[in-house]
């Protein structure tokens, strides 16, 4: 059962970014499915590592677009990227040390972060970058 389902309301109007957001949703759903199947413990670290790596590459794409097109809210957006990267890195550390395991709280954090980040932060740059010819 999918924790998050892609909806058109998530679209920022930039195909590459939308495709990457879909991949992030798939990773969160993969982790949720593993948890529901009782396999969350063995898949938690590999999926979190994959998610962390993908976030870094996804954020790099966004940041390059911001630099290329002088996005005026770059500093605030980068701060949010750094905080998410730090949170996922800390979560990986907690899992490795045995302090954290897969839980509803972890899944809700990931779901809520993705939803909030797309809907409140990423949706801001879509129209700006579209006006610069980025589709």
**Which domain CATH number covers 112?**
1.20.120.50
Q: Is residue 2 assigned to a domain?
A: no
Q: Is residue 67 assigned to a domain?
A: yes
Q: Is residue 1 assigned to a domain?
A: no
CA separation for the pair 50, 43 (Å, rounded): 11
CA separation for the pair 116, 118 (Å, rounded): 6
What is the full per-residue pLDDT of the chain (135 aa) written as tens digits?
Answer: 788 999 999 999 999 999 999 998 998 898 888 888 887 777 778 888 888 898 899 999 999 999 999 999 999 999 999 998 888 888 888 888 877 766 777 788 888 888 888 998 999 999 999 999 999
13, 130 Cβ separation under 8 angstroms: yes
The pLDDT, as a whole number, for residue 111 is 87
Q: Is residue 46 assigned to a domain?
A: yes
CA separation for the pair 6, 94 (Å, rounded): 29
Q: Is residue 4 assigned to a domain?
A: no
Q: Is residue 5 assigned to a domain?
A: no
DSSP class per residue in 67-83: HHTT-TTHHHHHHHHHH
CA separation for the pair 86, 79 (Å, rounded): 11
Q: Is residue 58 assigned to a domain?
A: yes
Q: How many domains does the chain divide into? A: 1
Q: Is residue 108 assigned to a domain?
A: yes
- Of the candidates 87, 106, 114, 84, the one whose C-alpha atom is nearest the C-alpha of residue 22 is 114
CA separation for the pair 21, 134 (Å, rounded): 16
Give me the domain span that covers residue 18.
11-131
């Amino acid at each position: 059962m999918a924790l998050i389902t892609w909806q058109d309301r998530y679209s920022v109007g930039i195909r590459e970014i939308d495709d990457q957001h879909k991949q992030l949703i798939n990773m969160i759903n993969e982790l949720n499915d593993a948890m529901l199947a009782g396999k969350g413990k063995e898949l938690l670290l590999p999926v979190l590592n994959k998610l962390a790596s993908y976030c870094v590459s996804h954020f790099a794409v966004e940041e390059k677009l911001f630099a290329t097109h002088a996005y005026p809210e770059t500093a605030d957006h980068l701060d949010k990227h750094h905080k998410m990267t730090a949170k996922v890195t800390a979560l990986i550390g907690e899992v490795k040390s045995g302090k954290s395991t897969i839980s509803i709280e972890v899944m809700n954090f990931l779901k809520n972060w993705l939803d909030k980040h797309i809907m409140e932060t990423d949706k801001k740059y879509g129209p700006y970058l579209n006006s610069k010819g980025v589709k």
